[in-house]
Every structure is written in structure tokens, then in C-alpha cells.
Amino acid sequence: MTTSKTIYMFRHGETDWNREGRMQGSTDIPLNETGRQQARQLREFFNANPVDVFWSSDLLRARETAEIIAAESGTEILLDARLRETNLGAAEGLTNHEFTTLYGEEILERWRNVDLVDHHVRFPKGESKFEHRVRFQQGLEDLLHSAAAAEWRRIGVATHGGSMRRLIHHLRPELTEAVMVGNCGTYKIEYHVTTRKWVIDLVPIFTAGC
């Protein structure tokens, strides 16, 4: 078994809801043309830095990003619902202004706060930040410790901005300002299977030029 694995974790490309400032969550929104172009840019990175497999959220925007990246290499893509974005409940499809008109400013400010005191905050009918991070991280660790992953050394993970931000802040609790992850922003992570230790480079190794 390979005991140390390199993970290239990236956010999906742009969608129309991203452009309009709408909260997406678990709503299944496709990439727009800008998002597809961003994915094609990221494909060049992966052509130069090939991985053994891609793991992807099963939501269309992440899956389509992974499919564009893997189109030339033919690298296998495995889908897993645990890699999805937070279920935002009643907030999905709303702009910040529309949300605060309905529910007020306080819950949105607490949602943005990265301090542990607000980790259990959730939007109405939605998933809390803590629940999301545990679901996402546990899903990754289950995959990393699976029999299929035993010989894989380099893995691409197609996921979502909230998923990446929650994991980054969990791994680096000293960060007091929210880490902003752009569309197709990519971070390099080392995962040590025997110790279950995560080591993340906080400088993105790829940022889409679009």
C-alpha cells in the first residue's frame, strides 16, 4: 500500500448561478461556457501533472469539470455523493439580498464566520457547517483507505468551494479570515495513510485565468 498520497483538490468551473451570486448548495446546476473554458485550462495542469484517478462530487458542475479535465487522458472518474457541497436548504437559489430580506443578516454573518463558535450554524432546512465538513472529510478518508485506493499515489478531487473551505479551516484552525476558493482553484494536499495526517499547501497551485 502507498502510505503517502498526493491530492489535487479543485473547485468546479463557473455556473450561471455563480455569476449571478446565487447560493447553489445541493442544487444540480451545470457549468456555463466560462466554466467549461476554466476546466479546459485546468486540464492543461493535469496533463502536465497526471493523476491515477479522479474522485468527484456527483453534482453536475463538479462531474462535468472532471469529465472535461479527463477527456484527453481517459483517467477514470469515480463519483461519490459525500463530496457534494453543503445542503443549504431554504437558501438555495437565493442571492444574499434575497436571503437577508427573508431571514435577516445575523444568520448570514454567522454562516460566513470561520470561528468554531458558529460551526453548528445552518440555514433553514439545511445542513450545518460541521455536518458538512464531517461528511466530506469522512467520505475522503473512506475512499483513501479503501482497497481500491491502495496503489493510487496521486488523486484528483473535483468538489465545491464550501467543501474545500471547510476542510482547509479544519486543518488550519489558526486562519481567522475565510479562505476564498475561486472556480477551478486547486490546492495540493498530502495525506499520510498510517497517521491519517493531512498537510495542505495554502497557496493554490492553479487559478483559472478566466
Domains of the chain and CATH, by start: 4-200 (3.40.50.1240)
Task: State residue 26 phi and psi, 5-degree precision.
Answer: -90, 0
Amino acid 1: pLDDT: 62
pLDDT of residue 89 exceeding 60, the answer is yes
pLDDT of residue 209 exceeding 60, the answer is yes
This prediction's pTM: 0.96
pLDDT, average across residues 183-190 = 98
Rounded Cα distance between 35 and 37, Å, is 5
In the annotation, is 85 catalytic? Answer: yes
Please give the mean pLDDT across all residues of the chain: 96
In the annotation, is 14 catalytic? Answer: no
pLDDT of residue 210 exceeding 70, the answer is no
Contact 183/17 with Cβ under 8 angstroms?
A: no
Percent of the chain with pLDDT over 70: 99
What does the pLDDT look like over 8-33, one tens digit per residue? 999 999 999 999 999 999 999 999 99
| Catalytic entry in 14, 64, 85, 127 | 85
pLDDT of residue 167 exceeding 50, the answer is yes
Instruction: Give the amino acid at 182.
Output: G
DSSP H helices, 23-179, are: 33-48, 60-70, 96-103, 105-112, 129-144, 161-171
